[in-house]
């Protein structure tokens, strides 16, 4: 059996200043022509990614996989319409030219917004459906941060969402998607999928499935999967201000629409009852510094979720760096600040030399001003390393040219590209052993817990400004449907 696959991926932060362009998608693809074929298979084989899971599942079940296109741009501002139209056109052209196939696996995020299309994944699935017809199975994998819409649910035969946040189960969900596909093709599964949206927005720190309420809700969903084919809890991406932003539940059964609907309602009710438990607690940076000083040993991690490039943050915010320097925080690390200009200055100075520069704070005025720094260049690298953790482990990551600058007792990792430092392998790749440091600021909301949860003695969610700040008071919503909790305090049950 021949299965076509594709990925056009983006998580769009409509509050972010910088638009996402075709160049961003080109950088996010294993090949300059946006991938397809062998380069995609070679890139993802033996990696803990969705396509890594597709490949392993295909081997196990004797499927021939034919990737048509693969690109995932780093999360950022609204997608340029021409870029989206081009990529969608390319996918449909390759689909029409692909010849005979038995099914389609789409590796999508679920929160992509373009200048003209709020629900880009719904639009993509519908376009693919139009080319291949009603009878062709389309199985879609989506991120836990998907803002799932009725259009997505109607276009796909089955949607399988990530269970975990940090997304440590991408590989498993990829394998699951191939198993669902095989079951459909063998006639063993006639999917009935129920979609149940909730009038509920939640913020990343509390969407984490390592802690309650999500830990309990996920356990309930997993118990339910003893009876049904799949339960997906999509918590939504609150930084995409679109009509359908927010949490939703999908339940897929084998041929029983009523059961799917009842279980989806049950799960939605359980989430709704916990709606008051999703409010994050933020800690002032000064308090975290003071806490680290009182501890004789152990690593303190300060999550700068407000400038998380994994959710569209510019990754050049300076608020924590400035406070580390002012407090002369010894053994402190900032990972990372994306600033190509500063990297160029460090490269020009060379390893061991001192450089004076204005670091970070250059994208907009919401993440702190540039910090004037006189620092020693400790290390320069090409910024390529291999992820080692459960999220994407085995895959190559690229920071662009990278410099480690040292000012007083503070080390700063400065990169050319925006990158979320969730895997401790990033710091190790530039000679910094996290367990030998006292205080590390990471531009990550939750994913860092995939490797740092076990390394850190204490973790704080930092109270910093930014376009990914987990605080509803920081945003003016214009497009999301109203009323919605917690923008309005809804008393009724959904
Ligand atoms: Zn996500």
Cβ partners under 8 Å of residue 26, min gap 6: 32, 34, 71
Q: How far apart are the first and last CA of the chain?
A: 42
| Same domain for 302 and 267 | no
Where does the pLDDT of residue 491 fall: very low under 50, low under 70, confident under 90, or very high at 90 and above? low
Are 227 and 145 in a shared domain?
yes
- Ligand 1 center–CA 374 separation, angstroms: 37
Mean pLDDT rounded to a whole number for the chain: 97
Tens digits of residue pLDDT in 217-268: 999 999 999 999 999 999 999 999 999 999 999 999 999 999 999 999 999 9
CB atoms within 10 A of CB 272: 17
Instruction: Kindly give the distance from the C-alpha atom of residue 205 to the centroid of ligand 1, in angstroms, as a whole number.
Output: 12
**Residues 206 and 289 both lie in one domain:** no
Tokens 């009603």: give the residue: 134
Please give the biggest Cα pair distance in the chain: 69
Statement to judge: residues 261 and 371 lie in one domain: no
Instruction: Tell me, in angstroms, the distance from the centre of ligand 1 to residue 306's CA.
Output: 15
Cα(488) to centroid of ligand 1, in Å? Answer: 25
Instruction: Tell whether 260 and 137 lie within a shared domain.
Output: yes
Give the residue from 244, 277, 310 where a domain finishes: 277
Q: Are residues 304 and 240 in the same domain?
A: no
The per-residue DSSP string of 62-81 comes to TPEEEEEEEEEPPSBSPBPH
Distance 53 CA to ligand 1 centre (A): 17
Which residues lie closer than 8 Å to 46 by C-beta, 6 or more apart? 52, 394
% residues pLDDT > 90 (the chain): 99
Q: How many structural domains does the chain have?
A: 2
Query: Do 31 and 134 have their domain in common?
Result: yes
Q: Are β-strands 396-398 and 354-359 bridged in parallel, bridged antiparallel, or unpaired?
A: unpaired
Q: What is the pLDDT of residues 133-191, one digit of tens each?
A: 999 999 999 999 999 999 999 999 999 999 999 999 999 999 999 999 999 999 999 99
CA of 371 to the centre of ligand 1 (A): 30
C-alpha 246 to ligand 1 mean position (Å): 13
Per-residue b/e over 78-108, b at no fewer than 16 CB within 10 Å?
bbbeebbeebbebbbebbeebeebbbbbbbb
pLDDT higher than threshold 50 for residue 494: no
- DSSP, collapsed to helix, strand or coil, labels residue 369 as coil
Check pLDDT > 90 for residue 354: yes
Residues 314 and 424 placed together within one structural domain of the fold: yes
Q: Among 220, 245, 277, where does a domain finish?
A: 277
Distance 8 CA to ligand 1 centre (A): 15
How far is ligand 1, taken at its centre, from the CA of residue 236, in Å?
9
Q: Are 68 and 105 in contact (CB under 8 A)?
A: no
Q: Whole-angstrom Cα distance, residue 269 to residue 9?
A: 30
For residue 343, the CA-to-ligand 1 centroid distance in Å is 29
> Rounded to 5 degrees, what are φ and ψ at 280?
-70, 155
For residue 36, the CA-to-ligand 1 centroid distance in Å is 24
Predicted TM-score (pTM) of the model is 0.96
Q: How far is the CA of 166 from the centre of ligand 1 (A)?
A: 8
Ligand 1 centroid, distance to 167 Cα (angstroms): 7
> What is the CA(456)–ligand 1 centre distance, in A?
22
Residues 287-328: pLDDT tens digits? 999 999 999 999 999 999 999 999 999 999 999 999 999 999
Print burial letters for 122-152: b (CB count within 10 Å at least 16), e (below 16).
Answer: bbbbeebbeebeeeebbbbbbbbbbbbbebb
Q: Residue 158's CB: how many other CB atoms inside 10 A? A: 25
> 182 C-alpha vs ligand 1 centroid, how far in Å?
26
- For 62, counting Cβ atoms within 10 Å of its Cβ (0-12 exposed, 13-18 middle, 19+ buried), the class is exposed
Residue 225 buriedness (CB in 10 A; 0-12 / 13-18 / 19+): middle
Cβ–Cβ < 8 Å for 49, 15:
no
Cβ(149)–Cβ(180) below 8 Å = no
Look at residue 476 and tell me if it is in a domain: no
What whole-number distance in Å separates Cα of residue 35 and Cα of residue 40?
Answer: 6
Query: For residue 111, how far is its CA from the centre of ligand 1 (angstroms)?
Result: 9
Q: Each residue of 251-265: b (16+ CB within 10 Å) or e?
A: bbbeebeebbbebbe
Is the domain of 192 the same as that of 338? no
Q: How far is the CA of 327 from the centre of ligand 1 (A)?
A: 34
Question: Does residue 478 lie in a domain region?
Answer: no
38 lies in the same domain as 175:
yes
Domain that holds residue 89: 2-277
33 C-beta neighbours (distance < 10 Å), count = 11
Digit-coded pLDDT (tens) for 421-464: 999 999 999 999 999 999 999 999 999 999 999 999 999 999 99
What spacing in Å lies between the alpha carbon of 164 and ligand 1's midpoint? Answer: 9
348 and 264 both lie in a single domain? no
Taking the centre of ligand 1 as the mean of its atom positions, its distance from the CA of residue 441, in whole angstroms, is: 20
Residue 433 CA to ligand 1 centre (angstroms): 27
Q: How far, in Å, is the centroid of ligand 1 from the Cα of 4?
A: 24
Strand order in the sheet with 191-197: 191-197, 248-254, 230-234
CA of residue 144 to ligand 1 center, whole Å: 5
**281 alpha carbon to ligand 1 midpoint, in Å?**
20
Compute the distance from residue 466 Cα to the ligand 1 centre, in Å. 18
Please answer whether residues 354 and 12 qualify as being in contact, where contact means their C-beta atoms are separated by less than 8 angstroms.
no
Query: Residue 347, Cβ neighbours under 10 Å: how many?
Result: 16
For residue 221, give every residue at least 6 positions away whose Cβ sits within 8 Å of its Cβ, in sequence order, or none: 163, 231, 232, 233, 267
Same-domain status, 359 and 210: no
Banded pLDDT at 489 (limits 50, 70, 90): confident
CA-nearest of 318, 347, 137, 162 to 250 is 162
Distance from Cα 101 to the centre of ligand 1, integer Å: 30
């Amino acid at each position: 059996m021949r299965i076509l696959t594709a990925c056009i991926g983006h998580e769009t932060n409509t509050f972010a200043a910088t638009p996402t362009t075709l160049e961003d998608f080109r950088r996010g693809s294993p090949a300059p022509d946006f991938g397809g074929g062998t380069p995609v298979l070679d890139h993802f084989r033996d990696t803990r990614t969705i396509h890594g899971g597709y490949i392993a599942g295909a081997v196990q079940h004797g499927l021939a996989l034919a990737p048509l296109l693969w690109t995932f741009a780093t999360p950022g501002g609204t997608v340029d319409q021409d870029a989206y139209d081009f990529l969608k056109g390319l996918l449909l052209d390759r689909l029409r030219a692909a010849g005979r196939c038995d099914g389609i696996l789409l590796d999508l995020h679920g929160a992509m917004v373009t200048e003209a299309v709020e629900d880009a994944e719904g639009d993509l699935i519908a376009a693919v459906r139009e080319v291949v017809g009603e009878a062709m199975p389309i199985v879609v994998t989506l991120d836990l941060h998907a803002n799932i819409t009725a259009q997505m649910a109607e276009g796909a035969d089955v949607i399988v969402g990530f269970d975990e946040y940090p997304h440590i189960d991408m590989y498993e969900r990829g394998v699951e998607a191939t198993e669902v596909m095989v079951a459909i093709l063998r006639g063993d599964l006639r999917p009935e999928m129920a979609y149940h949206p909730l009038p509920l927005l939640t913020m990343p720190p509390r969407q984490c499935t390592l802690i309650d309420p999500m830990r309990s809700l996920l356990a309930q969903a997993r118990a339910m999967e003893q009876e049904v084919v799949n339960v997906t809890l999509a918590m939504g991406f609150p930084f995409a201000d679109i009509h359908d932003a927010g949490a939703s539940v999908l339940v897929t059964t084998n041929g029983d629409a009523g059961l799917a609907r009842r279980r989806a309602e049950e799960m939605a009710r359980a989430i709704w009852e916990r709606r008051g438990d999703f409010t994050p607690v933020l800690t002032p940076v000064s308090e975290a510094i003071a806490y680290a000083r009182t501890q004789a040993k152990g690593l303190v991690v300060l999550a700068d979720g407000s400038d998380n490039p994994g959710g569209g943050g510019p990754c050049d915010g300076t608020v924590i760096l400035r406070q580390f320097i002012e407090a002369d925080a010894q053994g402190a690390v900032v990972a990372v600040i994306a600033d190509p200009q500063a990297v160029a200055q460090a490269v020009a100075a060379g390893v061991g030399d001192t450089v004076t520069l204005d670091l970070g704070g250059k994208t907009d005025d919401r993440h702190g001003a540039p910090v004037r720094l006189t620092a020693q260049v400790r290390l320069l690298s090409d910024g390529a390393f291999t992820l080692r953790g459960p999220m994407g482990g085995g895959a190559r990551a690229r920071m662009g040219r990278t410099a480690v600058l040292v000012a007083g007792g503070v080390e700063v990792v400065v990169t050319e590209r925006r990158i979320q430092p969730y895997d401790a392998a990033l710091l190790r790749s530039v000679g910094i052993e996290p367990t030998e440091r006292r205080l590390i600021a990471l531009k990550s909301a939750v994913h860092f817990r995939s490797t740092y949860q076990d390394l850190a003695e204490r973790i704080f969610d930092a109270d910093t400004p930014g376009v990914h700040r987990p605080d509803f008071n920081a945003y003016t919503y214009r497009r999301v449907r109203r009323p919605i909790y917690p923008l309005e305090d809804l008393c009724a049950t959904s």
